């Protein structure tokens, strides 16, 4: 029955996806991040729903009104260049194999979704809806596992994520850390009391889920998120003090097994020592193959060539061999130009958020633009920290959020350039500073991250 109900929902949405590609993007994001198909038990569980939605959406996009597939932004072109360099590296790598090409196809899909997002999500309202879909999809998983953690009194442990891009517990933890700022900012800015409480309730449950994964990378990611949020709060000192109290209380309440796990971050435990060895090997690979690397997905194949003291498990192929660092993974497998592009795209996204926030603060005393900038900055910081300890150079959420930041920058700068336009008909989108617009002698009420019609 559950399979039938889920299938009918998705099939019923297909015509809407065809006629409105933006809805197709929302449905695709829902399927990718909430993993609704994993809640079924029969035929619907293994069906390629995301693939069907993507095909129908693309056909509808090309059949409908003519428009750009993606925005002409430098970051979009750099992501395409990264795809091209990776593909060339595969072709010129030593003995290309089916595994490489399979992973490369997946990488193309990831970048394609990011580019397509900038093509169909153009307005402030569409941006808000997309953020809500992603936040609620991931938040649903955080609530599900968080409630389970409470019921088991923290004695349970998430050894594996729900599936798809979140199959690994470390990936799941990283996604939860990236989701938390979305839920918190939506909750703090929501006017409707019921929705406000619902979103804020999700935040501690998401944190509990991260704890249950016992992921050290997830712990560092969520710590970085809390620091950014406290630093960007209106009262920085109070925010940092509150963060300190939360950290002390959280540590006291955390399960003993989790404390033991986290305490190994700074020790020479085997796992930590293994990461350091992998980083050294990745650095040697990159230095020896500076232009195109050893080949996309071929880190393991070339590991023993650059590791003078392999373990018995590595020699026999039983041990998991990865770079344990997204940046070194890109550098070793794809080469220096690809690594510079990768870091450049991330750096440009941070810079655009800082630039937009600075310009918004010159015009508005308070605005949704400032809220969004803080929210996206915390999300990217979560990835920046967590990916330092994970092999996730091609993580779906990163590329999707880079696309979202591109959209946000365009929409926000257009609004900042014409603040008078958004004072018309009582539809102000921020608390405008009196000195910014001549002829307006009143301060408009704050319109933060709202779900009401006033947000339009």
Assigned domain for 257 exists: yes
Q: Is the pTM of this model over 0.75?
A: yes
Per-residue pLDDT tens, the chain, 456 aa: give them.
Answer: 788 999 999 999 999 999 999 999 999 999 999 988 888 888 888 888 999 999 999 999 988 776 788 999 999 999 999 999 999 999 988 888 888 888 899 999 999 999 999 999 989 999 999 999 999 999 999 999 999 989 888 777 888 888 777 888 889 999 999 999 999 989 888 888 899 899 999 999 999 999 999 888 888 899 999 999 888 887 778 888 888 888 888 787 777 777 777 776 655 455 666 778 889 899 999 999 999 999 898 888 888 888 877 777 776 667 778 888 999 999 999 999 999 999 999 999 999 999 999 999 888 877 889 999 999 999 999 999 999 888 888 899 999 999 999 999 999 999 988 877 765 433 345 555 544 443 333 333 444 434 333 343
- Domain count along the chain: 1
- Shortest CA distance to 220 belongs to which of 395, 384, 342? 384
Assigned domain for 37 exists: no
Domain that holds residue 359: 153-456
Assigned domain for 47 exists: no
Assigned domain for 294 exists: yes
Burial 128-145, CB ≥16 within 10 A → b, else e: bbbbbbbbbbbbbbbbeb
CA distances from 213 to 25, 156, 207, 258, 306 (A): 29, 9, 10, 9, 32
Assigned domain for 177 exists: yes
d(CA 265, CA 97) in angstroms, rounded, equals 36
Assigned domain for 198 exists: yes
Assigned domain for 3 exists: no
Phi, psi (5° rounding) for residue 366? -155, 140
Assigned domain for 370 exists: yes
Burial 23-51, CB ≥16 within 10 A → b, else e: bbbbbbbbbbbbbbbeebeeebeebebbe
């Amino acid at each position: 029955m559950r399979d039938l109900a889920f299938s009918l929902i998705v099939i019923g949405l297909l015509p809407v996806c065809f006629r409105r590609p933006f809805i197709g993007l929302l449905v695709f994001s829902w399927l990718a991040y909430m993993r609704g198909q994993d809640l079924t038990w029969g035929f619907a569980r293994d069906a390629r729903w995301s693939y069907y939605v993507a095909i129908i959406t693309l056909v509808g996009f090309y059949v409908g009104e003519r428009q750009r597939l993606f925005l002409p932004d430098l970051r979009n072109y750099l992501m395409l260049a990264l795809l091209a360099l990776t593909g060339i590296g595969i072709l010129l790598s030593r003995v290309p194999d089916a595994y490489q090409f399979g992973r490369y196809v997946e990488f193309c899909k990831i970048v394609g979704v990011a580019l397509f997002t900038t093509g169909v999500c153009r307005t402030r309202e569409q941006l808000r809806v997309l953020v809500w879909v992603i936040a609620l999809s991931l938040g649903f998983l955080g609530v599900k596992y968080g409630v389970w953690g409470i019921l088991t009194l923290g004695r349970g442990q998430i050894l594996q994520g729900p599936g798809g891009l979140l199959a690994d517990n470390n990936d799941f933890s990283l996604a939860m850390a990236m989701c938390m700022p979305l839920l918190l900012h939506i909750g703090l800015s929501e006017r409707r009391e019921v929705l406000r409480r619902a979103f804020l309730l999700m935040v501690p449950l998401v944190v509990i889920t991260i704890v249950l994964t016992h992921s050290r990378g997830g712990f560092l990611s969520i710590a970085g998120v809390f620091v950014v949020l406290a630093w960007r709060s209106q009262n920085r000192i109070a925010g940092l003090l509150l963060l300190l109290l939360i950290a002390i209380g959280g540590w006291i309440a955390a399960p003993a097994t989790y404390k033991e796990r986290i305490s190994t971050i700074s020790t020479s435990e085997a796992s930590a020592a293994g990461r350091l060895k992998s980083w050294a090997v990745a650095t040697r690979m990159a230095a020896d193959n500076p232009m195109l690397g050893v080949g996309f997905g071929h880190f393991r194949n070339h590991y023993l060539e650059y590791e003078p003291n392999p373990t018995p498990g590595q020699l026999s192929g039983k041990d998991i061999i990865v770079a344990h660092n997204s940046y070194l993974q890109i550098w070793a497998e794809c080469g220096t130009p690809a690594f510079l592009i990768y870091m450049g795209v991330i750096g440009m996204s941070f810079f655009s958020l800082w630039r937009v926030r600075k310009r918004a603060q010159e015009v508005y005393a308070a605005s949704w633009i400032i809220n969004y900038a803080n929210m996206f900055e915390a999300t990217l910081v979560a990835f920046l920290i967590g990916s330092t300890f994970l092999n996730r150079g091609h993580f779906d959420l990163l590329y999707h959020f880079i696309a979202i930041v591109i959209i946000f920058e365009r929409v926000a700068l257009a609004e900042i350039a014409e603040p008078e336009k958004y004072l018309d008909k009582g539809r102000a989108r921020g608390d405008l500073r009196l000195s910014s617009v001549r002829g307006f002698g009143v301060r408009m009420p704050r319109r933060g991250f709202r779900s009401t019609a006033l947000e339009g």
